[in-house]
Amino acid sequence: MEVLNSKQDYQSSIKVGPWGGVGGAPWNYMANGGIVEITINHEGIINSLSFKSVCANKEEKCSRNFGLKRGKTTKLLQFKYNLWPQRKLHFELEMRFS
């Protein structure tokens, strides 16, 4: 695990992928606030992702489901503290879903 010590470290992102088959199309999700929840549907591989964010006015927004809503297991990642805008959860993940 890499420890990020400077403000500049938080301003960059890491891009990984692509994974998946030849179908589908790249996608991105830009939250209007801090991401407080990520839902992962999987069964051996990740089938889909969705996100929940909280805007500055405390309104919750849920993203659409990216990928196919299938898989026997759902993993819910919840973040205890909404640190946005002081700290941003920033990642770029390229996946293609058929």
Residue 2 forms part of a structural domain? no
Cα distance between residue 48 and residue 42, in whole Å: 7
Report yes or no: 42 and 23 within 8 Å, Cβ to Cβ.
no
Residue 3 above 50 pLDDT? no
* Domain extent at residue 12: 7-95
Mean pLDDT for the chain overall: 70
- Per the domain annotation, does 1 fall within a domain? no
pLDDT score at 79: 73
- Span 18-65, pLDDT tens digits: 666 677 777 777 887 788 888 888 888 888 888 888 887 888 899 998
Nearest in space to 68 (alpha carbons), one of 92, 43, 93: 43
Cβ–Cβ < 8 Å for 96, 26: yes
Q: Is residue 62 one of the residues assigned to a domain? A: yes
